[in-house]
């Protein structure tokens, strides 16, 4: 049994179309449901770079 703590996106509407996230000091895990069915794992640095890009004027 996984001891990871999954958090649902604050932008999630009602229903199943939500992103769930679990973070450690070195990795970010993204899943499509809780409990997760499909998981994508990326380095924390790569995820932070993606978020920075999305927040920038170039990301819009």
Q: List, for residues 42-55, the tens digit of each pLDDT value.
A: 999 999 999 899 89
Q: Which letter does DSSP use for residue 11 in this model? A: T
Collapse the DSSP code of 46 into the 3-class scheme (helix H, G, I; strand E, B; otherwise coil) and give the result.
helix
Does 2 reside within a domain? no
Does 53 reside within a domain? yes
Does 47 reside within a domain? yes
Residue 2, pLDDT score:
55
Domain that holds residue 30: 7-59
Does 1 reside within a domain? no
Q: Is the per-residue pLDDT at 13 higher than 50?
A: yes
Does 26 reside within a domain? yes
Q: Shortest CA distance to 27 belongs to which of 43, 6, 14?
A: 43
Number of domains, the chain: 1
Q: What is the pTM of this model?
A: 0.68
Residue 3, pLDDT score:
66
Does 34 reside within a domain? yes
């Amino acid at each position: 049994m996984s001891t990871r703590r999954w958090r649902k996106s604050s932008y999630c509407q009602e229903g199943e179309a939500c992103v769930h996230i679990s973070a450690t000091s070195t990795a970010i895990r993204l899943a499509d449901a809780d409990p997760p069915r499909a998981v994508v794992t990326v380095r924390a640095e790569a995820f932070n770079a993606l978020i920075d890009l999305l927040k920038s004027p170039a990301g819009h």
